Amino acid sequence: MAKVVVIGGGVIGLSTAWELHKRGEDVIVLDSRTAGMAASAVNAGWVSPAMAGPVPAPGLVKTSMKWMLDPESPLYIRPRLNKSFISWLYRFWRACNATSYAAGLEATAVLGGGTMEIMDQWVADGVKFEMHDFGLLYAYRDQAAMETDLKAFQGVTPYGYAQPTAMYGDDLRQFEPVLSDELVGGYHVKEERTVQPVSLVKGLIASLQNAGVEIRNGAPVVDLEVSQGRVVAVRTPAERIEADHVLIAAGAWTGEIGKMAGAKLPIEAGKGYGLDFRPAPVKPKQSIYLHDDRIAISPFNDGLRLSGTMELSGISDKVTARRIGAIQKGGKRFLNGFPDDAKPTQVWAGMRPMAPDGLPVLGKVSGLSNLTVASGHAMLGVTLAAVTSVQMAELITSGKTPDVLKPFSPARFKGIV
C-alpha cells in the first residue's frame, strides 16, 4: 500500500482520506489544530450543487462598491498593500463577467453530479451524521432578482434538477409560514439537502479512526522535502514522515503549504460568520436562503443556525460584532415569531478558502509528480466534499486526472505573482 499524507483535517481532507482508505491506501491525516473544527464545522451545512456558481459574478463589482460603504453588508474587503493580494483581487474582478460565471457554473454542476448518491453511500458505509432532505427555499424581497435567478436555473436542469416553480405572496407564506410579509417571492429546490456540519466531520473522523486511519491533531506542517520532482517527506515540528503521495487540503492555509514545495496556489481566506440558537427560536420547515441579504437559515435537530457574509481580511479568527449583529437583525426581521430578546448560544467565524476565479483548485501540481491539491471550495466545501473526495481518490490511485476535474486544475494559475 502506498502511504498518502493528507495535509488538512477539514471536510475535504477527511472525506478524501475516507475514499482513499476504501480503495486500500495507507493514509495519514495531519491537522495543525483539531481536525474538523475549522470552517468545515461552522457553516450553513448545505449540500446545494444546483446553484453552486462561483462567487465572482456579473454585476458584483458594481454591487460590491455599494456594499463597501455599508459595514453591515454581505461583502467586505479590507484594503491591504500586499502584492499577492492585489494580484488576487485583480483576477477576482476580471472573473466578474457573464462568460466566466457561466463556464464556472457549468463546471461545478457537472462536478456535483452524483453528490447525493455518494453521501448515501457514506451512510451505507456506516458514517454517522445528521442529514435532512427537506430541500432549500430561496426567498426574495426583490421580485425582479428572483425571476432573473429562476430563469438562470434553467442552466442546471440538464444535470438532474427539476425547474422550480415561482411562489408569490401568500402562496410563499403558506409554503413556509415563518417568512415575513417583506419577502415577496421565492422558489423551492427540492433536491438540495442540509447536513449538520459538526456531525459530518465527527462522523468521518470516527469512521476513519475505527478503520485504523491515523489522524494527528496539533501537527502543523513546517516543510515539504522535495527531491527529483517529488515530495519525499512531510515535516512537522515533531517528526519527518516519508510519503508516496501528498495531498494538500489545508483550506485557507493551502497557499502557505504550497509555497514549501515551490507551488503557487493563490488561495485567500473568505471569512464567514454565524450564530447558533439552541433551542431554535423559530422552526422553519426547510433551509432558507434570504437572497437579498445573503443570509442562510439552517434548521438542525438541536437548534437553528444563521450564517452569512464574505469578508476578505486575511486569516483571522476575530469576530466583528457589527457583522454578527447584521445577520441576527436579518433573522429577526424576516422570520416571523423570532423573539427580539433571543440571544445566540454560540457565535463563530470560519475561513473559507477562495481562489480568485471562485472555483475549486483540484488536481496535480505542475512539476511535482506526487503532489496534488484539493482546496479553494469557497462556500461549496460541504456541497462538493463528496464528489471531490471520489474524484481526487481516483486521481491519486490511478495517476490519471478525471475529465470532470480538468476545469479546476492548479495549472490555470501559471504566471501569477
Residues 6+ apart with CB under 8 A from 5: 27, 28, 30, 234, 241, 243, 245, 246, 247
**Cβ–Cβ under 8 Å, residues 51 and 101:** no
User: 417 pLDDT band (50/70/90 cuts)?
Assistant: very low
DSSP state of 151: H
Phi, psi torsion values for 413, nearest 5 degrees: -100, 20
Which pLDDT does position 71 carry in this prediction? 66
Q: CA 199 to CA 130: how far, in whole Å? A: 6
Q: Is 51 exposed, middle or buried (0-12, 13-18, 19+ CB in 10 A)?
A: buried
User: What confidence tens digit (pLDDT) does each residue in 207-242 have?
Assistant: 999 999 999 999 999 999 999 999 999 999 999 999
**Cβ–Cβ under 8 Å, residues 172 and 137:** no
Query: What is the grid cell recorded at 168?
Result: 408569490
Which pLDDT does position 161 carry in this prediction? 86
Residue whose cell numbers read 515551490 = 262
Residue range 316-335: mean pLDDT, rounded? 91
User: What confidence tens digit (pLDDT) does each residue in 135-190 have?
Assistant: 999 999 999 999 999 998 988 888 888 999 999 999 999 999 999 999 999 999 99
Q: Is the pLDDT score of 51 beyond 80?
A: no
Q: Is the pLDDT score of 2 beyond 90?
A: no
DSSP state of 403: G
Residue range 180-203: mean pLDDT, rounded? 97
Task: For the chain, report the end-to-end CA distance as a whole number of angstroms.
Answer: 38
Query: What percentage of the chain has pLDDT greater than the value 90?
Result: 82
Residue range 394-407: mean pLDDT, rounded? 97
The pTM of the full predicted model, rounded to 2 decimals, is 0.96
**Cβ–Cβ under 8 Å, residues 159 and 110:** yes
Which pLDDT does position 16 carry in this prediction? 98
Q: Is the pLDDT score of 348 beyond 90?
A: yes
The residue that leads in pLDDT, 75 or 328, is: 328
Domain at 3-413, CATH from 3.40.50.2300, 3.60.15.10, 3.10.20.30, 3.50.50.60: 3.50.50.60
Residue range 332-337: mean pLDDT, rounded? 96
Q: CA 355 to CA 397: how far, in whole Å? A: 26
Which pLDDT does position 302 carry in this prediction? 95
User: 7 pLDDT band (50/70/90 cuts)?
Assistant: very high
DSSP state of 308: E
Region of residue 337 (phi > 0: left; psi between -120 and 50: alpha; otherwise: beta): left
Residue range 183-200: mean pLDDT, rounded? 97
Domain boundaries, the chain: 3-413
User: 402 pLDDT band (50/70/90 cuts)?
Assistant: very high
Q: Is the dihedral of CA 92, 96, 99, 102 positive or negative?
A: positive
**Cβ–Cβ under 8 Å, residues 266 and 254:** no
User: What confidence tens digit (pLDDT) does each residue in 251-310 have?
Assistant: 999 999 999 999 999 999 999 999 999 999 999 999 999 999 999 999 999 999 999 998
Query: What percentage of the chain has pLDDT greater than the value 70?
Result: 98
Which pLDDT does position 69 carry in this prediction? 62
Q: CA 154 to CA 32: how far, in whole Å? A: 42
Mean pLDDT of the chain: 94
User: What confidence tens digit (pLDDT) does each residue in 307-323 have?
Assistant: 999 888 889 888 888 88
Phi, psi torsion values for 136, nearest 5 degrees: -135, 125
CB atoms within 10 A of CB 232: 15
- The set of long-range contacts for 221-229, using a CB threshold of 8 Å and a minimum separation of 24, is 221/7, 221/30, 221/32, 221/250, 221/257, 221/260, 222/260, 223/260, 224/257, 224/260, 224/261, 224/371, 226/261, 226/262, 226/368, 229/367, 229/368, 229/369
Give the C-alpha distances (Å, rounded to integers) separating 341 from 163, 169, 280, 305: 39, 28, 13, 16
